[in-house]
Structure 1
Amino acid sequence: MVMPSWTDPKLGTMKRAALWLVTVVKEDGVFTKEDVKQAFPGVSQADRRVRDLRDHGWQIDTNREDASLGPHEQRFVKQGEPVWEPGRGTRPSTSITQTRRREVLARDGHFCRSCGIAPGEVYAGTYESAQIDIARRVVRQPDGRETTELVAECNRCRVGGRGSVTDLGSMLNRAEALSGLERRMLAGWMEQDRRDFSGAETFWADYRSLPAESRAKVREALKPPAE
C-alpha cells in the first residue's frame, strides 16, 4: 500500500502527524513542540495529536523517559500502528487522566516500584534527582493473554524497562513451589510492603561493595579463632 503524503489536508491531524514523524523526523529523530507548530500551522492541538499516537503503540519519549533530551525535546523512537491506513487508528484512547495518575501514585506509595527511589531523591553517585511518573507495563497473564497495567516508576527505570514483559503466570507457578515457611515470610513482607534486612544481610551487601583488598581483611577478621 502506497503511503499517503503527510501534507494531505484530507487526512486527520493524527494521521498526518504520524506520517510526518515517519517521513520527516524519522525513527530516532528529535523534534520539539515548535517543530510541530511549524509543520502544522494553524492546526489546533497538533502536539496533542502527536501524543495520542502513543495509544496506538508509537514510542515517543520525552526527557522523563530519555535523560539525554532537553525539557522541550521529544524523540521519535519507534513506529506503532499505521494509523493512516483504512480502519486503523480508531480504537478508544487509553490516555492516563490526572485523576488516574494520582490514584496509581498513591496506591504505589509515591516511589518507584522497580528500584524504590522516592521523588526528588538523588541517584547514588550523581547529582540527578528522580522523577516518579506512571509507566505502562505489559503483563503476560496465566492464560497467555498480554494486558497493560499501570505502575509508578522513576525516569531511569521507565527507560530501562522499555519493551519488557512481566510473566505473571511464571511468578504464580513459583509461588506454588514455595514452602510454608517461605510463604509466611513473603506474606509478612507483602503485608507491610517492605522487607527489613537482618544485620548479616546488610553486612553482606556492604562487604560485596568493597575492593578486593578490603574484602580479604574482612574475611580474615571473621575467621573463627584457632583452638
Structure 2
Amino acid sequence: MVLPSWTDENLGTMKRAGLWLVSVVGEGSTFTKDELRQAFPGVSQIDRRMRDLRDHGWQIDTNRDDITLEPHEQRFVRQGEPVWEPGKGRAKSTVSVTATQRREIMSRDGNFCRSCGISGGQTYAGTFESAQLDIARRQVRQSDGAVSVELVTECNRCRVGGRQLTAEPADVLAQVRQLGRLERRVLAGWIADDRRPFSTVERLWAEYRALPEESRIRIRQVLDSADTD
C-alpha cells in the first residue's frame, strides 16, 4: 500500500508526524527536536502531536527511556497503529496524567519504583546511572478477562522493560490461596509494611547475580574452598 505524503497539509499534524517518522526517519533511527521542527515549520505544538502517537501504540524513546540518547535526541523504535488510514488515529479515551495526579500517584506508591524498589535519584547498583521515576501505564488483566490500564510509579529502566507486559492479579491471587497460614501471615506483614526485609544471604545473592561472570567465578571459588576447609 502506497503511503500518503507526510507533506500533505490536508492531513492532521499527528498523521503527518507519523508518516514523517516512517518515510524519513525509519524504525530504529534517531532524530532531534530541531530536525522535527525544521520538517514542520510554523506548525504549533508539533512536539505534542508527536507524543500523541504513543497513545496509538507507537514507541518513541527519549533519553528518559534510553540512556544512550542525548537530551535533544529521540529514537523511533516501533510503528504502532497506521493513524493515517480511514477510521484510525482517533483520540483515545485515556488522558494525559496531570502534574497533580503524578504527585499523588508517586506519593501513594511511596516515591519508589514499584517494580524494583529503587528511589528517584538513587544510583543503580554497579553503575553511575541515577534512577528517574515517572508514571507508567501498566496493562492489567481483570477477573473477567478484560484488560484495563492502571497507573504505577516505575523507574526509567523498568518502565521501558515492562511496556509489553500485562499484569495478572488473578494468578497472584491463586498462588496466595495456596499458601499455608504462616506464609500468609508473613506475606500480610510485608504488604502491611509495604516492604520486605531481606536477610544478608538474600542481599548477597542479589548482588552476586548482578556481578559479571568473571567476578561470579571468584565468588564461587571462595565458597568452594570454604566447603573443603
AA in 2 matched with 1:89: G
Map 1:214-225 onto structure 2 (within 5 A).
214-219=222-227
Task: Decide which of 193, 217, 220 is 1:212's aligned counterpart.
Answer: 220
Indicate the residue corresponding to 2:74 in structure 1.
74
Indicate the residue corresponding to 1:47 in structure 2.
47
Give the Cα separation in 2 of the matches to 1:144 and 1:204.
35
Give the Cα separation in 2 of the matches to 1:99 and 1:205.
36
Q: Which runs of 4+ in 1 moved over 6 A?
A: none
Q: What is the SS of the residue equivalent to 1:203?
A: helix
Indicate the residue corresponding to 2:175 in structure 1.
174
AA in 2 matched with 1:32: T
Please report the TM-score for the alignment, with normalisation by the length of structure 2. 0.88
Does residue 19 of structure 1 match 2:27? no
Give the Cα separation in 1 of the matches to 2:140 and 2:205.
36
Give the Cα separation in 1 of the matches to 2:17 and 2:135.
24
Indicate the residue corresponding to 1:157 in structure 2.
158
What value does the CA root-mean-square deviation take over the aligned residues? 1.9
Map 1:124-139 onto structure 2 (within 5 A).
124-139=125-140
AA in 2 matched with 1:206: L
Q: CA deviation at 1:207?
A: 6.5
Does residue 187 of structure 1 match 2:188? yes
AA in 1 matched with 2:146: R
Q: CA deviation at 1:87?
A: 2.0
Give the Cα separation in 2 of the matches to 1:207 and 1:39.
51
Indicate the residue corresponding to 1:224 in structure 2.
none
Give the Cα separation in 2 of the matches to 1:123 and 1:4.
45
Checking the alignment, whether the CA contact within 8 Å between 1:55 and 1:95 is kept in structure 2 is no
Checking the alignment, whether the CA contact within 8 Å between 1:140 and 1:146 is kept in structure 2 is yes
Percent identity over paired residues: 60
Give the Cα separation in 1 of the matches to 2:205 and 2:109.
31
Give the Cα separation in 2 of the matches to 1:82 and 1:143.
30
Indicate the residue corresponding to 1:123 in structure 2.
124
Which blocks of at least 5 consecutive residues in structure 2 are unaligned?
209-215
Checking the alignment, whether the CA contact within 8 Å between 1:133 and 1:155 is kept in structure 2 is yes
Q: State which drifts further: 130-139 or 4-13.
A: 130-139
Give the Cα separation in 2 of the matches to 1:207 and 1:195.
15
Q: What is the SS of the residue equivalent to 2:136?
A: strand
Aligned length: 218
Give the Cα separation in 1 of the matches to 2:144 and 2:62.
34
Indicate the residue corresponding to 1:10 in structure 2.
10
Indicate the residue corresponding to 1:91 in structure 2.
91
Q: CA deviation at 1:219?
A: 4.0
User: 1:122-152 deviations in whole A, cap 9, x for unaligned?
Assistant: 1111111111111121122222211121111
Checking the alignment, whether the CA contact within 8 Å between 1:120 and 1:131 is kept in structure 2 is yes
Q: What is the SS of the residue equivalent to 2:11?
A: coil
Give the Cα separation in 2 of the matches to 1:48 and 1:207.
44
Indicate the residue corresponding to 2:212 in structure 1.
none
Please report the TM-score for the alignment, with normalisation by the length of structure 1. 0.89
Q: CA deviation at 1:204?
A: 5.0
Give the Cα separation in 2 of the matches to 1:180 and 1:57.
43
Taking a change above 3 Å as real, the CA distance of residues 140 and 207 of structure 1, as seen in their structure-2 partners, is closer
Checking the alignment, whether the CA contact within 8 Å between 1:112 and 1:154 is kept in structure 2 is yes
